[in-house]
Structure 1
Amino acid sequence: MSRASLSHQDFAQRWHERAAKGKESADYPLHWTDLCRLVDHPTPQEAPPEWDYGFQRSVRKVGTRDQGFADVFKAGHFIAEYKGFGKDLGAALQQATLYARELGSPPLIITSDMSRIEVNTAFTGTSPKTYRVTLDDVASNRVIAGSDFHALDVLHSALWKPETLDPRLLRERVTTDATRRIGAVARALTARTNDRTRSAHLMMRLVFAMFAEDVGLLERGLLSQILERARQYPERSLTYFQELFTAMQHGGEFWGKDVRHFNGGLFDSGDALAITAQDAEALLAAAQLDWAEVEPSIFGALFEDSLDTAVRSKRGAHYTSVTDIERIVDRVVLEPLWREWHEVKTEIAVLKRPHKRVERLLTFQQRLAQVRVLDPACGSGNFLFVALKKLLDLEHEVRAAAFVNEAGPFDIPPLVHPRQMLGIEIEPFAHELASITLWIGYFQWKRAHGGNWETPVLQRLDGLQRRDALLTPEGTEAAWPAAEFIVGNPPFLGDKFMRQRLGGEYTLALRGVYGDRLPAQSDLACYWPEKARAAIAAGSSQRAGFVATNSIRGGKNRTVLERIKATGDLFMAWPDEPWAQDGAAVRVSLFAFDGGQEQLRTLNGQATPDINADLSARADVNRAEPLVENRGTAFVGAMKKGKFDIPGALARQWLQLPNPDGACNGDVLKPWVNGMDLTRTPSDRWIVDFNLMTQAEAARYLAPYEYVRTQVKPDRDRVANRLERERWWQHARTAPDLRQAIQPLPRFIGIPRVAKHLLPVWLTPPRVVDGQVVVVARDDDFTFGVLASSIHRTWARAQGTYMGVGNDLRYTPSTCFETFPFPRPAGDQRAEVEKWARYVVQLREHLLAQDEGATLTGLYNAVAQLRAEPDASHPAAALATAHDRLDASVAAAYGWEWSLSEDEVLARLLALNLERASAVTAPA
């Protein structure tokens, strides 16, 4: 629809003229219509119905039996509330805030008296920001104070794109720049003093002082004066800092200025370090930034990372995005409280006496003040800050309801406080930083919502404990404080790295203490949800939620999720989410659980009747049993543990060399195959393989033996495993069962253990297969065809685990192969599968021969693309068709109509697995 536009000068002039005589009820629809014309946005009458946008949206007034009306509402965008010219916009904001939750919590609340427009942000997990636009601002389209936006940009964004006004966009820039500058100074200071702890502590004090200045807790410019003097007289910098920190410790006078009593642990002494003139100059530049605008939910992690990367990496600590934190905190902590709040509002709506309504609200406020949230791996406090912020927001809504329910002015003071946040953190710097993150976030919230500063400004948060969350110093299980809710992001550290990163003694003690609850092969992250499960079972906690690597869904890690379902249940899961960390990308799972009381279960944000221990809602393939018919067929390749592999050219040279007693080097030199050889260009690597020879037998092969003695033995001499040290000329695991199984076969099947696509490949003796390849000791086309089908791939992806940014399948013989029920076809059905299996191989070889740079992974990337965007002219189109025919023939071998959904395939395979397993175990 064509709409007449309105210039910003005409808009400003029109509403200046009406300012003295307009009335709210009569003029606000006209004002809104003009505002729409100003930014070329449809009015409610012009918008399509699916926008859910209109005047006078009905909504229940909190705490009354009456219906209220939001003046303007656009779903997912804003609520707009008007007052008459010159009236209090704070009251409009308060009223609109009470409507907001009832209308889906849109991200903006717009208030106006038609001469002023205030755009208030209400994005979840952030402190609010207000953009104040006057008619004069509109007339000249000038930059709005405290922002980078011009007046028309603010108004256009408010109606069209609220996300561009998200304070996090500005705060992330400020926070990143601020922590980068401070981190550079801290690293330089640490290098000079060789004292990382004191350097970090000084930086935290200075950062908090910069923040305190910008929110009005310290005299503005005071710290800049100190840093300017330190730049001129660096030899006096130590004294300057000591005097300032001593004043902040107790309160008092400093350089003629009154300083508040801060204390709270951060300023518990005058301890400081001297800085250089260059340090002071860098800190002066940092002090010019608006520290009031730092984003607490990322500040702590960025600051910690700038100073403490090595320690974080050692323990597998990771920064969690605000979005992921909110997914956990909302479902675990806020959801039950929101339900209680809804019940309170329903109750007070029928109470006639205002003081009774206020009493009920005060009782619920006390309930909020009793909430305890524990993050037992709190790092720099991100989860705790987000939980605190959301509790403060909910309490503010309760307090606002009390205000409007009283006949006269009635404002109840806030009770929610950082002391309600409990944390456990072993690293001293992160532990101290968690406290600062909470206080900064708390003061930002108070600054935005009003309220007096407490004395002392900072208080020691005894609920933040510096210790190990899993073991006591005596090596027994550590206790956690009682908390209604437990949330967090435990360290990401695989079981293979725990000895290396945490030490053998600690790792053995940990596995010993928890050995009756978790397998020794469990990743470190599994121990936190297990302890939370136990706390819920014991009644000291109610609900818990964590972020972990997505490997928690499979293998031995899945035990912790199975235990959770045995004593309670999972009620939320995001099983496979991308997650960037320190420049590397991983995949994570988010999950939440309780004692089984929660009725709403969601998977990937959608309601589901149940969530399995592998964080799926499909047929629970974890119930599948290993099948006797598949036993002794699939094996993981050999594990060499040393530089046994050599270039093919060198191997061929050695093959020609004689040995003194006539031994042929071909006995111990074999072509070597790893996973990448199967999926990419073959590497032409060979391997020295003495198998189970004695040292004397191996020494008969002079060149290979000497190579292993000089290239392998020095490293083997340092390993912890005694057999690997003593038998240095042998591979660490020679896989004798595999060798025996393939010995009589002219060919066998290799499957990469970790790959983007499940790709069975034919291999021939005398190849030695690396541990990154799974060998299936069968040589028939039928087995190959079934393994290459999407039916087997669906089963393998449900039973396997995943690795890396590409979410690559990790194929495990025990779960992916041994549980898989192969079809038992008639003769013609078997022949059809064999035909298409041979054709798939033939097509692969043909396509690879056309381009010397082509790889199997590349071919199947093209096939995947063709599934999404069919193109019959593409060279790989024939391969895609061949796989379609192969899938249909395998389905026919099962007796199934094709095609079927993945969930249906899994359900049928599981039923077949359980049928065969029970037939074997049934009594005769």
Structure 2
Amino acid sequence: MTPDQFIAKWKAVELKERSAAQSHFIDLCHMLDEPAPTDADPTGAWYAFERGATKTTGGEGWADVWKRDHFGWEYKGKRKDLNAAFAQLQQYALALENPPLLVVCDMDRFRIHTNWTNSVSEVHEFTLDDLRDPNIRQRLKWAFSDPERLKPGKTRQALTEEAAAEFATLAQRLRDRGHAPADVAHFINRLVFCMFAEDADLLPKKMFLRMLEAAKIDPSQFQRHASTLFSAMKDGGLVGFEPVEWFNGGLFDDGDSLDLEAEDVAICLKAANLDWSEIDPSIFGTLFVRGLDPNKRSETGSEYTDREKIMMIIDPVITRPLTREWERVRIKISAAVDLAQRRLEEEIENAATFPELEQEVRVVRSHLVERPQLELFEALPKQRRVRNLDAVRASLRSADKALVEAQAQADVELKAFQARLRAFRVLDPACGSGNFLYLALVELKNIERRVAVEAELLGFSRSFPSIGPEALLGIEINPYAAELARVSVWIGEIQWMRRNGFNVGRKPILKPLQNIECRNAIINENRTHAAWPRADVIVGNPPYLGAKLMKRRLGVAETEAIRALYEGRLPGFTDLVCYWFERARELIESGQVARAGLVATNSIRKNTNLPVMHRIAASTRIFEAWNEEQWTVDGAAVDVSLICFGESEGVEARLNGAVVTAINPDLTSGLNMTLAKALVENKNGAYLGIQKSGPFDVSGELARTWMGEPTNPNGRNNSEVLKPYWNGDDVTGRPRDMWFIDFPLGLSKAEASLYVSPFNHVATTPDEDGKTIEQLRQALGERAGPRWWEPHWPRPDMRSKIVRLRRYIVTPETSQHRLFVWLSYPVLPDKNLIVIPREDDLMFGLLHSRFHEAWALRKGSDLEDRPRYTHTSTFATFPFPEGMTPNVSALEARQLPAAKAIEEAARELDDRRRAWLNPENRIECIPEIATGFPDRFVPVDAEAARELSRRTLTALYNEKPTWLVEVHSKLDAAVARAYGWSPDITTEEALSRLFEFNQTRASSTSDLPELVVD
């Protein structure tokens, strides 16, 4: 059929929808050279006419034509309301498997609505006459064969970011003019919602845009007009002669408005011309709170969580459990009704042979519901035909009564589950700008809609969505973020209703949301536990503030009060996020909450944070987790763990998307290394370096300047209080040439001040907040130490060990590769170095073996992509070979047969690496300006400097040249022999044996002597 033939035929046809729809569609397929449903899929499994519940309910079906992954298509009679047809498709999009296109047609007009989840929706509209245009026909053909060609280019996220950027600029301009941050935030929230309401057809005739256009001519009128509009939205009223709906909900509680200048109006106009109906509430709140709130929650470490990551919590905690519940209910009620219906069908067949029962059979047959799509049973076995009329009548009536009772009971079961859904409550106790709450609401409404659609297939009548924002409970300490969370939920609720073809509820449009509270979620003003509202599940993204920053950010009093509340349950030095996990665990254990799904930095599974995970694993069950997920926020990589725990009977545990037997507290499966214990034999075998917490480090250039100054008033040189200073970067990269101001411990302030230049530097150099070290220490309280001219943790025990040694071993706390190197006093190690006070090659070789490295990877935590080594959980638990443990002197350990090969391989490794790092023909040694310090290696020329800058241990281990692999293989083989293992033992087998050694030694050893330093 040619386009002209198709157009001519269907312009002349005036048949009603039911008579013409299929014929029109078949002709359209022929014109486009596309197969019709009956040609391509006679079974109707993926391409069909009359998709849906038409025969079940007696009403209209879901779609007149449906093609899986392509479209749902609904017809109306000529010149009928296509909006009504579109609304029907929206209502049943879920049942139609969410096709990417929703098409409506009245035989004269075609509208293709795009329906991709995260794309801005577009509408392609054309008429019969337009089909002469080959471009139009091509667009229509894509709907049949390649719908991706119609996918809009702009995502909802891009639209949202664009809108947020405009308002961030406006907010800054308003704050710069002296308006209070809270007033600016509230005003911006109103503007945002007005723009959304206008594009969602809740404000009449582009009223807000017209108001902005008027203000463009005379900006001085904006405040008066906006106040009039806001007042009308408070209770419903008139703006001029135009009625405005009742909105309020707390957002429009008065008519207050800020004044705008011409440039401000221009910004608003630019924003207003975006399609706000497509804004994405799952991210828009966080984007706005960053741009508008001068006290952003990022100061406490909270970050924007993208939609995909949020759903990795929402799905296992909310969606899947409720869906499983519904499946059980659906099968139960379907099975009962099907059984009763099959019995009645048998009795009808039997009774139909009796003319006397013709009327009764006709009545009873009308009670049957045709349910072809949900048949669960084969037809019941044929019963022997009964010839007695009275017996047949009795059986027929009995079967009819049984069906009525089964249907009534099914109705009770269905309504009970629907009531369960309506009563379901989701709590986010750190809800920020509401992204978790919004997506939780969307999922609850999707589940409710699925239940309604599938109930239709079971013969029940259609139902209207009833779940709303009352299902959401939130706690947020930031007033602006709390209000923005309410705005996000309101917008999300309205969007869902519109996208699914339902009218938005009125009177008021914005239901009050006092269930999103603005307060502290962990501690009350009277320093007791803050109550959390009763909920079925808990989800969220609590603040990530690290333990060492809590006093600085929260204040000393609040930090100590929180820690006191959880004393005996959590360590005193634990990250802030752990208190949310412990509170959720406690509510699950007491039966007040079923499940929780929370986000944390991945450090929650290690070290001082691990106890909260042990408590969760002991009192409930971790049923789903992602131990390390990464995404980018403001250009920075953030590593998080997503953890779901609580009620999960019959649910397989899943770790990183894979089914596992169980999930350990450290979010691993299999060998539970969290049970490894500190070994007495390793006591005092490793230490932390110096934690300076102040301006104690200076460049080598400045240190040499001070060492060259005249002697001080005490007659002493500054070199006495200066020492070379290494941190992790000096190990993994090139030495930075940093020095440390190291006043002898116990020196009075007066005595320290006699070293004039170093003392003045410590006393006057401000931190990033402009505070001197004395001011900072005072703010942090006495525990930080009143002797501010000394490092926060000077580590005298560690110093007493390394000062007696020719050299000592260090490893970076965090590094891409587990590296060990030698340092020599007076070089001092920073806190970012773990210090092993041994000078023997044997210990160096044991530490650099692949067995110790594997243990460190499993027992340590990590920072971004850099594994973290700790002296407590890693070194303290590692089972060294018998006779080579840290409490055995090096002299004694070296007598063992396996020791020599380890020492030789260790020396070779160190020699080869040193030679590669500092080739003799590229460096020269320069003595320090003062005696007693190690010589410096410097490049011989500029070319050598460029070459050496590329020679770092990280670069070497990234490249892994053959010589490095060979020497490590030699070392690993020697260490394996010390354990009595084959050199080719697998890493997993080695870890398993090491764990057994740990458990055996931890349970059988008594107090052993402290480390002996040879």
Using the size of structure 2 for normalisation, the TM-score is 0.77
Deviation at 1:688?
A: 3.4
1:477 to 511, 515, 529: 529
Give the distance between the partners of 2:646 and 2:951, measured in 1 at CA. Answer: 42
Contact 1:63–1:401 (CA under 8 A) maintained in structure 2: no
**Kindly tell me: are residues 281 and 640 of structure 1, through their superposed partners in 2, closer, same or farther at Cα, counting changes over 3 Å?**
closer
Give the distance between the partners of 2:807 and 2:2, measured in 1 at CA. Answer: 82
> Could you tell me which residue of structure 2 aligns to residue 230 of structure 1?
215
1:846 partner letter: A
Contact 2:120–2:155 (CA under 8 A) maintained in structure 1: no
> Could you tell me which residue of structure 2 aligns to residue 770 of structure 1?
830
2:874 partner letter: C
> Could you tell me which residue of structure 2 aligns to residue 411 of structure 1?
462
> Could you tell me which residue of structure 2 aligns to residue 121 of structure 1?
115
> Could you tell me which residue of structure 2 aligns to residue 706 of structure 1?
756
Computed over aligned residues only, the root mean square deviation of the Cα atoms, in angstroms, reads 4.0
> Could you tell me which residue of structure 2 aligns to residue 717 of structure 1?
774
**Kindly tell me: are residues 619 and 11 of structure 1, through their superposed partners in 2, closer, same or farther at Cα, counting changes over 3 Å?**
farther
Deviation at 1:761?
A: 0.4
**Kindly tell me: are residues 84 and 64 of structure 1, through their superposed partners in 2, closer, same or farther at Cα, counting changes over 3 Å?**
closer
Give the distance between the partners of 2:849 and 2:129, measured in 1 at CA. Answer: 69
> Could you tell me which residue of structure 2 aligns to residue 913 of structure 1?
998
| 1:398-442 Cα deviation digits (max 9, x unpaired) | 2223444448xx431211111111111121111111111111111
Give the distance between the partners of 1:465 and 1:140, measured in 2 at CA. Answer: 57
> Could you tell me which residue of structure 1 aligns to residue 940 of structure 2?
none
1:897 partner letter: S
Deviation at 1:526?
A: 1.0
**Kindly tell me: are residues 127 and 435 of structure 1, through their superposed partners in 2, closer, same or farther at Cα, counting changes over 3 Å?**
farther
Deviation at 1:36?
A: 7.8
Deviation at 1:362?
A: 3.5
Deviation at 1:158?
A: 2.9
| 1:132-171 Cα deviation digits (max 9, x unpaired) | 7888777647699xxxx96677767636x89x569xx522
Give the distance between the partners of 1:63 and 1:502, measured in 2 at CA. Answer: 64
> Could you tell me which residue of structure 2 aligns to residue 743 of structure 1?
803
> Could you tell me which residue of structure 1 aligns to residue 353 of structure 2?
none
**Kindly tell me: are residues 315 and 14 of structure 1, through their superposed partners in 2, closer, same or farther at Cα, counting changes over 3 Å?**
farther
1:451 to 497, 502, 516: 502
Give the distance between the partners of 1:210 and 1:314, measured in 2 at CA. Answer: 30
Give the distance between the partners of 1:384 and 1:512, measured in 2 at CA. Answer: 31
Deviation at 1:531?
A: 1.0
**Kindly tell me: are residues 348 and 909 of structure 1, through their superposed partners in 2, closer, same or farther at Cα, counting changes over 3 Å?**
same
| 1:243-281 Cα deviation digits (max 9, x unpaired) | 111111111221110111112111121122222222222
1:608 to 657, 660, 663: 660
| 1:782-804 Cα deviation digits (max 9, x unpaired) | 22122222221221122122223
Deviation at 1:22?
A: 9.5
Deviation at 1:629?
A: 2.0
**Kindly tell me: are residues 722 and 707 of structure 1, through their superposed partners in 2, closer, same or farther at Cα, counting changes over 3 Å?**
farther
1:812 partner letter: T
2:95 paired with 1:98? yes
1:426 to 449, 467, 477: 477
Using the size of structure 1 for normalisation, the TM-score is 0.85
2:867 partner letter: L
> Could you tell me which residue of structure 1 aligns to residue 620 of structure 2?
568
> Could you tell me which residue of structure 1 aligns to residue 281 of structure 2?
296
Contact 1:492–1:524 (CA under 8 A) maintained in structure 2: yes
Give the distance between the partners of 2:679 and 2:30, measured in 1 at CA. Answer: 70
Give the distance between the partners of 1:86 and 1:902, measured in 2 at CA. Answer: 71
Question: What SS does the corresponding residue of 2:744 show, helix, strand or coil?
Answer: coil
Give the distance between the partners of 2:129 and 2:572, measured in 1 at CA. Answer: 69
1:804-843 aligned at under 5 Å gives the runs 804=864, 807-824=865-882, 827-843=896-912
Deviation at 1:683?
A: 1.8
Give the distance between the partners of 1:185 and 1:786, measured in 2 at CA. Answer: 61
**Kindly tell me: are residues 449 and 816 of structure 1, through their superposed partners in 2, closer, same or farther at Cα, counting changes over 3 Å?**
same
> Could you tell me which residue of structure 1 aligns to residue 840 of structure 2?
780
> Could you tell me which residue of structure 1 aligns to residue 186 of structure 2?
201
| 1:495-549 Cα deviation digits (max 9, x unpaired) | 1111111112211221122223222211111111111111111221100001111
- Length, aligned pairs only: 867
2:310 paired with 1:316? no
1:430 partner letter: A
> Could you tell me which residue of structure 2 aligns to residue 496 of structure 1?
548
Contact 1:109–1:120 (CA under 8 A) maintained in structure 2: yes
Deviation at 1:575?
A: 0.8
Deviation at 1:236?
A: 3.0
> Could you tell me which residue of structure 1 aligns to residue 327 of structure 2?
342
**Kindly tell me: are residues 131 and 828 of structure 1, through their superposed partners in 2, closer, same or farther at Cα, counting changes over 3 Å?**
farther
1:832 partner letter: A
| 1:292-317 Cα deviation digits (max 9, x unpaired) | 11111111111221101533233333
| 1:178-202 Cα deviation digits (max 9, x unpaired) | 1221222222122224312122212
Contact 2:706–2:757 (CA under 8 A) maintained in structure 1: no
Structure 2 residue runs without a partner (length 5+): 14-18, 79-84, 342-367, 370-406, 765-771, 885-894, 920-943, 1009-1014
| 1:205-229 Cα deviation digits (max 9, x unpaired) | 1221111111111112211222223
| 1:18-77 Cα deviation digits (max 9, x unpaired) | 978999599879959977899xxxx999xxxxxxx97689x9999999xx9999887xxx
Q: Which moved more, 1:482-491 or 1:669-678?
A: 669-678
**Kindly tell me: are residues 86 and 231 of structure 1, through their superposed partners in 2, closer, same or farther at Cα, counting changes over 3 Å?**
closer
Contact 1:419–1:462 (CA under 8 A) maintained in structure 2: no
1:829 partner letter: A
2:430 paired with 1:371? no
1:118-267 aligned at under 5 Å gives the runs 121=115, 123=117, 140=133, 158=147, 169-267=154-252
Give the distance between the partners of 1:89 and 1:237, measured in 2 at CA. Answer: 38
Give the distance between the partners of 1:882 and 1:130, measured in 2 at CA. Answer: 66
1:759 to 814, 819, 828: 819
Give the distance between the partners of 1:696 and 1:118, measured in 2 at CA. Answer: 80
Question: What SS does the corresponding residue of 1:816 show, helix, strand or coil?
Answer: helix
Deviation at 1:230?
A: 2.5
Give the distance between the partners of 2:849 and 2:27, measured in 1 at CA. Answer: 63
1:462-611 aligned at under 5 Å gives the runs 462-595=514-647, 597=649, 599-611=651-663
| 1:796-820 Cα deviation digits (max 9, x unpaired) | 122122223xx21222101111111
Contact 1:61–1:99 (CA under 8 A) maintained in structure 2: no
Question: What SS does the corresponding residue of 1:613 show, helix, strand or coil?
Answer: coil
Deviation at 1:473?
A: 2.0
Give the distance between the partners of 1:435 and 1:450, measured in 2 at CA. Answer: 23
Q: State percent identity of aligned pairs.
A: 36
Give the distance between the partners of 2:914 and 2:330, measured in 1 at CA. Answer: 70
Contact 2:614–2:665 (CA under 8 A) maintained in structure 1: yes
> Could you tell me which residue of structure 2 aligns to residue 871 of structure 1?
none
Deviation at 1:891?
A: 2.7
Deviation at 1:736?
A: 1.9
**Kindly tell me: are residues 690 and 473 of structure 1, through their superposed partners in 2, closer, same or farther at Cα, counting changes over 3 Å?**
closer
**Kindly tell me: are residues 441 and 72 of structure 1, through their superposed partners in 2, closer, same or farther at Cα, counting changes over 3 Å?**
closer
Structure 1 residue runs without a partner (length 5+): 1-9, 46-52, 101-105, 867-875
Q: Which moved more, 1:442-451 or 1:545-554?
A: 442-451
Deviation at 1:922?
A: 11
1:33-52 aligned at under 5 Å gives the runs none
Give the distance between the partners of 2:178 and 2:707, measured in 1 at CA. Answer: 59
**Kindly tell me: are residues 645 and 883 of structure 1, through their superposed partners in 2, closer, same or farther at Cα, counting changes over 3 Å?**
same
Contact 1:317–1:490 (CA under 8 A) maintained in structure 2: yes
**Kindly tell me: are residues 645 and 244 of structure 1, through their superposed partners in 2, closer, same or farther at Cα, counting changes over 3 Å?**
closer
| 1:693-717 Cα deviation digits (max 9, x unpaired) | 5349956x96xx1123211134343
Contact 2:881–2:979 (CA under 8 A) maintained in structure 1: yes
| 1:717-767 Cα deviation digits (max 9, x unpaired) | 322255876544443333221122223322111111122221100112222
Q: Which moved more, 1:354-363 or 1:501-510?
A: 354-363
1:384 to 437, 456, 461: 437
Give the distance between the partners of 1:900 and 1:63, measured in 2 at CA. Answer: 67
Which is higher, the Rg of structure 1 or of structure 2?
2
Deviation at 1:336?
A: 0.8
**Kindly tell me: are residues 498 and 847 of structure 1, through their superposed partners in 2, closer, same or farther at Cα, counting changes over 3 Å?**
same
Contact 1:749–1:761 (CA under 8 A) maintained in structure 2: yes
